[in-house]
Amino acid sequence: MILAGDVGGTKVHLALYGFVGGRLTLVRDQKFHSGEFAALDQVVKAFLQQPGDTLPGIPPVIKEEISAACFGCPGPVRDGRIKLTNLPWTLDERELEQSLGIQHIFLINDLEANGYGIPELAPDKVMTLIKGDPAGEGHRGLISAGTGLGEALLIWDAKARQHRPLPSEGGHCDFAARNDQEIALLRYLRKILSGRVSFERVVSGIGIKNIYAFLRDDQRMEEPAWLRERMQQEDPNAVIGQCAEDGSSAICAETLRIFASAYGAEAGNLALKVLASGGIYLGGGIAPKILKTLEAGEFAGAFVDKGRLSSLLAAIPVRVILDDSCALLGAAAFAEARAAEISGRSERALS
């Protein structure tokens, strides 16, 4: 049995997986609010205390039957240790192994986990946003707007016929304004942030709120009373997304238009950097919720708008990951593969 985790700034998603016919099969999963716990091991212990984990053909799970665990985390991992980007936690593989009593525990970057998860996805869990050349082979890029903005390079290993994820912190690169409106947005954000502005400040959940505030406070777009009330009582990003998608609010629609354009531009930047002839994947929680906006054209227009290299971008497919368990699948796949290398015993091969 494999324990997998997707550790985010607002939630920790944990899951137990078994293998049936060589495929990862979910036993049980649960989401926890990150802020309610002082450390990751406390979350894992709360999750494992739940009884009755069963899978057809597999007996009930006890902790001793968990052969390996892997947690995808925001930020760079160094020597099995990470200080999380959006949480006041510092994690160490050796300390977690001792605290949880699991022999093999691995920490990897969250986008790296998503990269390992892509081959595990069912075909209906990926949607094509830009067709490009679907037969294109080569490197890929992964960019995920969620609480923050994550990026990873998926390097094509022609000999092994598979992609090898490389973590990146590209989401923290400098935001590049491309037109007068984005220059005004950059100036606004430089003022309220007292300095440097990264892409994450625009292309993320944080970014959506920043763009909305810019339009309301700097550009003086109208915020109707009913919308202001909803923004105060509900999750602002959910309200903006819903009202943009259903056409009920001009300021929300303009917020997502700017967001989609900036998202497309940075996805195109990533495609250039990795020469992503194999395609670009959009991960994270935002893209599946705003498909109507992404399909409207702003994203695609910004993605290919690369001057002399626009024709290169036009041949690159862009696909949206619809399954929010992609990082969990990737963490589980990584844990099983690394534990098999160390122990010489593969749960996947034996299933």
The conformation of residue 62, written as its DSSP 8-state character, comes to -
The pLDDT tens digits of the residues spanning 226-276 come to 999 999 999 999 999 999 999 999 999 999 999 999 999 999 999 999 999
CATH, residue 284: 3.40.367.20
Same domain? For 191 and 305 the reply is: yes
Examine the domain organization and report whether 247 and 192 are in the same domain. Answer: yes
Range of the structural domain that residue 259 is part of? 122-322
Q: What is the pTM of this model?
A: 0.91
Q: Which residues pair with 301 in a beta bridge?
A: none
Average pLDDT over residues 317-338: 96
Residue given tokens 């009330």 in the structure block: 229
Number of H helices, E strands in the chain: 13, 13
Distance CA 169, CA 310 (A): 25
For residue range 278-312, what is the model confidence (pLDDT) as tens digits? 999 999 999 999 999 999 999 999 999 999 999 99
Is 292 domain-assigned?
A: yes
237 and 339 fall within a common domain = no
* Model pLDDT for residues 61-105, shown as the tens digit of each residue: 455 589 999 999 988 999 999 998 778 899 999 999 999 999 999
Model confidence at 197, pLDDT cuts 50, 70, 90, reads very high
Domain of 13, CATH number, reads 3.30.420.40
Q: Report d(CA 198, CA 176) in Å as an integer.
A: 8
With CA atoms as reference, report the closest residue to 54 among 31, 14, 25.
25
HSE-CB of 196 using CA atoms within 13 angstroms: 6
The first and second tokens of residue 331, run together, are 């963490």
Residues 164 and 269 in one domain: yes
Residues 273 and 329 in one domain: no
- pLDDT category at 193 given cuts 50, 70, 90 is very high
- Is residue 157 domain-shared with residue 270, that is, in the same domain? yes
Residues 279 and 183 in one domain: yes
329 vs 17, 29, 96, 227, CA distance in Å? Answer: 9, 11, 20, 38
Diameter of the chain by CA atoms?
63
